[in-house]
Structure 1
């Protein structure tokens, strides 16, 4: 059954009005109804499943989505007739109600989130669908979390960071809080910036939204995409993504706040997570007294993350920062494998329990980042990076301290950007080896990684 063109157009318009890559298979529906459905998926994921079928389409004439700011695939790339007929038949046979759909061009699939019929066992239904030859993938809609932690007393963190800064000598930046940046100082970032500042490298940040108009992010965010569909103002007020973005690429020498590990890298922000609680902008200066920080954690699901990773596959970002995690997920694992196959550098945050299984750190080839000083000796395959009381950005014009493996991952992504900027020909395996080597003494040292890269380059230059 091929859906009428008018129904496809209506569905596409409804989903795109939410900032989503819409699925043409959903007939009609107003924006408010789509918003309610998206909220229901976030609030009660156990009522939904994710299903994928083959979606053979003509290859696009050019690289679809290479400019994320204007990413909007032509309807002929959304849903083919064969996939539409298969999905309609499956929905009819099992009493399923479609909640959302989207194409994954890189895999040749069309994915759909279906709502289960009342009283139907999700486990039994998934087993039945998995055995159906028409189905490429059938799995539960799962939840994932960002790996943030509430920081300790800001005053003690500032004192420790200032002591570290004085021990390493003058940091050549006019940004007023640079000597309070524990991570910046501990990684030797200022020394690394003699050779590289991340120019020409794009980092995809799959997270919440971020404060695009923060004075320390102006000019650094080159593309954005909202895969959640919350009101636009929520994007700017999201804390977790703002914190991660600030660590990676806060502007240097602008007489404002702090400096990022890779201050000239370009950021592509993919909002796939939503804040657990409402955000409020903090004061414009670092707090000088101890105070409890609000919960900055956020949640994502298989649907929002899959759409984000599918968009990253169509982007120019060479580094993908995933400061989040959760259970192993067949669809997300498939997308992650494709990113790695393309040579992208993927950085994931180690879960709070320290176990590498699950998405994304359970996948071989992913750089797993943990908090320096909190890793067991047996975790030699985890990159130890600063992640405790690190000064970074907050929504509005604010600055505050953040902790957790989310922040450690951001440091690793920043150092990866420095390496790729210094040598764009560097492949993923060589880059990972440099980063692991530079974190052997804990924490990851950006200056040591750049020195090791320069040592590798010297013999090659002598042979020319």
Structure 2
């Protein structure tokens, strides 16, 4: 396929956004619900996530719809036992519920509660941990994305030489002779995405806002838009860039938001990430991209373990400090990705392009950005290419194949789309 023209016109087309179709779907709009809680207003220094047993299944839902919507009932999705337990716990400890939601996959009902005034949160957590009525009690943790602020393309000494560096370094154009990720479903858990971007219009299947009701903010979010473009920007459409897997289908789960402070990176918390992961469990998505991370979290670990048990492939970004102790990279089976460099990676860690990556931006734009947040979607895109050829490919096989087919490019040992596809095809030929 002819990529040259597509690459050369990327910056020139940054202002060429055309029609603006539908806004992101509101998971709660059809539920007749009470106002959605703004997750960005929660206090990670004081708030607690509390779970109680919920043996009564919540109302049936369909794949692609939200398991976690709100209805006028105070305990939407909570069975009689869960509702009674929560009422008793609130009275015993003086708790104020901010919001609650069922997690069907774990048979629990979760609430975010405020620590009562005058009480230390750690003391409350210790008391709740000893209470037999409580399945889980933990702090509301904060999480962050791993990307630097986009650079001004015009400040690059040779912007055309830098266009789609990751696409070139992974030999993705050669891989596209055999696979473009057709039919592979990828979930992006991140900020919102510019769903009207001309390079993403044909790729996004469904959107879910786990943070608030602000559809306009959803489309203005930068980080998720960047990740989506690396994975699946449309190819051969005579505009912009092309993704690693331009025929893959994307589901967007907004679990992160931008704080009001200028130049602050996007943030997420235990509440929003748990909602996103629980919703994914009820879908057919094969790949989950998590270009974010933070501290270990019991609830998120349980949900991630369930996702991995289902045979899905989770791709996660390595923190900038290289610490592998937190969520989500501490879960066995997760494909951990760092920015490719001249130093050796930790055993089992994949390396991918992550410096000066040209990708999609809100308002139909394009710009360069860096960080392991950009390295991870390169791997998600390559895995989509592989799954299109071998739908039953599992995470361990995909990881080992990517590791052994990595090649040196510009002095860096990195994953290589063409080599990975070739290795998989050779394996398929050799199979009886």
TM-score range relative to shorter protein: 0.7 to 0.9
Q: Where does 1:207-356 land on structure 2 (aligned, <5 Å)?
A: 207-277=190-260, 295=263, 297-356=265-324
Which residue number in structure 2 is paired with residue 4 of structure 1? none
Query: For 2:253, what is the secondary structure of its paired residue?
Result: strand
Is the contact between residue 20 and residue 229 of structure 1 (CA under 8 Å) also seen in structure 2? no
Is the contact between residue 220 and residue 249 of structure 1 (CA under 8 Å) also seen in structure 2? yes
1:77 Cα deviation (Å)? 7.9
Query: For 2:158, what is the secondary structure of its paired residue?
Result: helix
Q: Separation in 2 of the partners of 1:69 and 1:56?
A: 19
1:404 is the counterpart of 2:340: no
Q: CA 1:147 to 1:97, structure 2 compared with 1: closer, same or farther past 3 Å? A: same
Query: For 2:383, what is the secondary structure of its paired residue?
Result: helix
Which residue number in structure 1 is paired with residue 13 of structure 2? none
1:213 Cα deviation (Å)? 0.5
Query: For 1:364, what is the secondary structure of its paired residue?
Result: coil
Q: Which structure shows the bigger proportion of residues in helix conformation?
A: 1
| Higher relative contact order, structure no. (Cα contacts within 8 Å, ≥ 6 residues apart) | 2
1:411 Cα deviation (Å)? 0.5
1:45 Cα deviation (Å)? 1.6
Q: CA 1:101 to 1:20, structure 2 compared with 1: closer, same or farther past 3 Å? A: farther
Q: Separation in 2 of the partners of 1:69 and 1:254?
A: 32
Is the contact between residue 353 and residue 378 of structure 2 (CA under 8 Å) also seen in structure 1? yes
Query: For 2:288, what is the secondary structure of its paired residue?
Result: strand
Q: Separation in 1 of the partners of 2:160 and 2:405?
A: 21
Query: For 2:99, what is the secondary structure of its paired residue?
Result: strand
1:96 is the counterpart of 2:63: no
Q: CA 1:80 to 1:433, structure 2 compared with 1: closer, same or farther past 3 Å? A: same
Query: For 1:338, what is the secondary structure of its paired residue?
Result: helix
Is the contact between residue 148 and residue 407 of structure 1 (CA under 8 Å) also seen in structure 2? yes
Q: Separation in 1 of the partners of 2:54 and 2:362?
A: 40
Is the contact between residue 350 and residue 370 of structure 1 (CA under 8 Å) also seen in structure 2? yes
Q: CA 1:384 to 1:38, structure 2 compared with 1: closer, same or farther past 3 Å? A: closer
Query: For 2:105, what is the secondary structure of its paired residue?
Result: coil
**TM-score, normalized by length of structure 1?**
0.81
1:373 is the counterpart of 2:341: yes
Determine which of 372, 389, 414 is the counterpart of 1:443.
414
1:162 is the counterpart of 2:161: yes
Is the contact between residue 208 and residue 238 of structure 1 (CA under 8 Å) also seen in structure 2? yes
- CA displacement 1:43-63 (0-9 Å, x = unmatched): x221210011111124876xx
Q: Where does 1:90-239 land on structure 2 (aligned, <5 Å)?
A: 90-151=89-150, 154=153, 159=158, 162=161, 180-239=163-222
Q: CA 1:392 to 1:39, structure 2 compared with 1: closer, same or farther past 3 Å? A: closer
Is the contact between residue 19 and residue 227 of structure 1 (CA under 8 Å) also seen in structure 2? no
1:67 is the counterpart of 2:64: yes
Q: CA 1:408 to 1:453, structure 2 compared with 1: closer, same or farther past 3 Å? A: same
Q: Structure 1 runs of 4+ off > 6 angstroms?
A: 69-77
Is the contact between residue 39 and residue 271 of structure 2 (CA under 8 Å) also seen in structure 1? no
CA RMSD of aligned residues (A): 2.6
Is the contact between residue 345 and residue 351 of structure 2 (CA under 8 Å) also seen in structure 1? no
Which residue number in structure 2 is paired with residue 289 of structure 1? none
- CA displacement 1:314-358 (0-9 Å, x = unmatched): 111100000000000111111111111111100111001011110
Q: Separation in 2 of the partners of 1:21 and 1:367?
A: 32
Query: For 1:98, what is the secondary structure of its paired residue?
Result: strand
1:199 Cα deviation (Å)? 0.7
Is the contact between residue 191 and residue 253 of structure 2 (CA under 8 Å) also seen in structure 1? yes
Q: Separation in 2 of the partners of 1:377 and 1:402?
A: 23
Determine which of 365, 384, 393 is the counterpart of 2:351.
384
Q: Separation in 2 of the partners of 1:85 and 1:158?
A: 65
Query: For 1:198, what is the secondary structure of its paired residue?
Result: coil
Is the contact between residue 65 and residue 73 of structure 1 (CA under 8 Å) also seen in structure 2? no
**TM-score, normalized by length of structure 2?**
0.87
Q: Separation in 2 of the partners of 1:372 and 1:102?
A: 40
Q: CA 1:232 to 1:378, structure 2 compared with 1: closer, same or farther past 3 Å? A: closer
Is the contact between residue 69 and residue 223 of structure 1 (CA under 8 Å) also seen in structure 2? no
Determine which of 326, 339, 347 is the counterpart of 1:358.
326
Q: Separation in 1 of the partners of 2:148 and 2:416?
A: 23
List alignment gaps of at least 5 residues for structure 1: 1-17, 164-179, 279-293
Is the contact between residue 175 and residue 418 of structure 2 (CA under 8 Å) also seen in structure 1? yes
Q: CA 1:435 to 1:268, structure 2 compared with 1: closer, same or farther past 3 Å? A: same
Q: Separation in 1 of the partners of 2:68 and 2:268?
A: 22
Q: CA 1:77 to 1:449, structure 2 compared with 1: closer, same or farther past 3 Å? A: farther
